[in-house]
Amino acid sequence: MKAELEFIGHIETPYKTLDDCPRNYDPSGPECTLVIDPQYEEALLGLEAGVEILVLYWFDRADRDLLRQSPRHVAGTKGTFALRSPHRPNPIGATVTKIESISGNQIAVRGLDCLDGTPLLDIKPAMKSG
Amino acid sequence: MKAELEFIGHIETPYKTLDDCPRNYDPSGPECTLVIDPQYEEALLGLEAGVEILVLYWFDRADRDLLRQSPRHVAGTKGTFALRSPHRPNPIGATVTKIESISGNQIAVRGLDCLDGTPLLDIKPAMKSG
């Protein structure tokens, strides 16, 4: 069974190659921008600086066929669902981060781990429990 | 731009209608089961009881066209991206929960908020920061 995603915008980060990307979110990392496509801008009503959001995005360069992996930073081989690797059947990135500022259809945040231009899937308030 | 999801399994919960579903995750809620399709079972290697996981799932009954909403529990109208409503352009549910036990292709957790039979998209270790 399948379903289709619609990209709601893209993410601007300083990372132009996969080797540039950090391995995970860093709350003190460089500024990144969530750019929402104009037709979705009105769906931002109620978001403001200081709000913790869950950002979902699409690792569009990932390998979707890997069930076991042996990343350099992990001892031995693990199943894909025991790793946060971008290479997975549904390569959805998920990061909780704080809104630094909002201007029109652009949301400034910090320290995302993805390539410049990564497609954006969703934004929602983070649960208190993470 | 679009992308296609593959369902990796489904979630068994006690909830047979949308009215039955709780509004959010409840860590002390009833037991639910993540049932992984057999072809993905080997991707579970390394997961075990006690591990905190992020579970991503697909609200397949959601309305994907709502940009603003006025839920009963919220004062006034808010943008969809300022709400955790299942009704959103990409209706992906995201919950951090603890593995109670694993048996073969089945993972027992507690307190998910979705309908019985909801398609499962991804499982990954939760970030310490949520």
How many angstroms separate the CA atoms of A81 and A69, rounded? 10
Residue B129 has a pLDDT of 46
Residue B2 has a pLDDT of 81
Residue A128 has a pLDDT of 62
Which 70-89 residues of chain B touch chain A by CB within 8 A?
77-84, 88-89
Is A94 an interface residue toward B (CB < 8 Å)?
yes
A67 burial via Cβ count (<10 Å: 0-12, 13-18, 19+)? middle
Residue A118 has a pLDDT of 97
ipTM: 0.93
Q: Which two tokens stand for residue B126?
A: 């939760």
Residue B128's region, left for phi above 0, alpha for psi from -120 to 50, else beta, is alpha
Q: Would the pTM count as exceeding 0.80? A: yes
DSSP A127: P
Task: Point out the residues of chain A with pLDDT beneath 70.
Answer: 128-130
Asked whether B125 and A91 are in contact (CB, 8 A), the reply is no
- pLDDT profile of chain B (130 residues), mean per 10: 92 93 88 97 97 96 95 90 96 96 97 95 81
Asked whether B96 and B54 are in contact (CB, 8 A), the reply is yes
| Rg of chain B taking only CA atoms, in angstroms | 15
Contacts of B36 in chain A (CB under 8 A): 81
Is B24 an interface residue toward A (CB < 8 Å)?
yes
Length of chain B: 130
Residues in contact with A11: Cβ distance below 8 Å, sequence separation at least 6, in sequence order: A32, A33, A34, A35, A55, A57, A112, A114, A116, A117, A118, A119, A120
Asked whether B118 and B34 are in contact (CB, 8 A), the reply is no
Which residue among A43, A51, A54 places its CB closest to the CB of B94? A54
How many angstroms separate the CA atoms of B128 and A97, rounded? 13
Residue A22 has a pLDDT of 87
Is A104 an interface residue toward B (CB < 8 Å)?
no
Residue B24 has a pLDDT of 83
Q: Do B7 and A2 touch (CB under 8 A)?
A: yes
Contacts of A106 in chain B (CB under 8 A): none
